[in-house]
């Protein structure tokens, strides 16, 4: 926990509960033990607490007419403890997926050392190899704007179960994904 808290971006901007990373880092020694107990309890029981499922959404203007909603990007501020727990669980899940060779070696998003540059170099290598062997290469590029808005949670949970996430671990993801709440701050 202490390593994860130390890695938080320094910010004096409060999350909806009034705490920020600066305050958390200042009280690190006092918080590590109770946070560890809390985290271990809900992971062991497979239940994501409702108090960590509320986000404050801030619409940030990107460009263009301020009267057009599509010109705003929603930034969701979750409770700082939820952010810490999410990162710990994400790291644990990625470690599981990578150690069991579940992720494609051609999946570049959301992985350490798999940058967009590496993706581009892989495509170029494939095209050059095809050219050298007189093979026509085709590339299909898809813009998955708002892709996360289209995810069917039940299908995602079925996929997690298929890949070995079961019982309390699966229920942790189920309770994390379902019943989320948000409020918009303008």
Tens-place pLDDT, residues 97-147:
999 999 988 888 778 888 888 989 999 999 999 999 999 999 887 777 677
Using alpha carbons only, give the angle 164, 169, 174 rounded to the nearest 5 degrees: 105
Distance CA 180, CA 175 (A): 9
CB 149 within 8 A of CB 76: no
Residue that wins the pLDDT comparison between 77 and 49 = 49
What global pTM score does this model have? 0.81
Distance CA 166, CA 152 (A): 18
Distance CA 76, CA 60 (A): 10
Taking phi over 0 as left and psi of -120 to 50 as alpha, with beta for the rest, 70 belongs to: alpha
């Amino acid at each position: 926990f202490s390593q994860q808290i130390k890695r938080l971006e320094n910010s004096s901007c409060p999350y909806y509960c009034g705490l920020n990373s600066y305050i958390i880092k200042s009280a690190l020694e006092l918080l590590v033990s109770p946070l560890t107990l809390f985290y271990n309890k809900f992971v062991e029981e497979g239940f994501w607490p409702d108090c960590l499922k509320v986000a404050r959404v801030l619409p940030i203007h990107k460009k263009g007419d301020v009267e057009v909603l599509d010109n705003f990007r929603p930034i969701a501020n979750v409770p700082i403890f939820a952010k810490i727990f999410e990162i710990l669980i994400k790291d644990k899940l990625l470690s599981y997926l990578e150690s069991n060779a579940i992720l494609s070696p051609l999946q570049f998003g959301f992985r350490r050392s798999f940058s967009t540059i590496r993706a581009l170099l892989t495509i170029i290598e494939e095209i050059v190899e095809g050219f050298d062997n007189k093979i026509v290469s085709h590339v299909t590029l898809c813009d998955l704007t708002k892709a996360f808005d289209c995810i069917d949670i039940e299908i995602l949970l079925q996929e997690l179960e298929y890949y070995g996430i079961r019982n309390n671990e699966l229920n942790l993801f189920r309770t994390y994904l379902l019943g989320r709440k948000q409020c918009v701050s303008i």
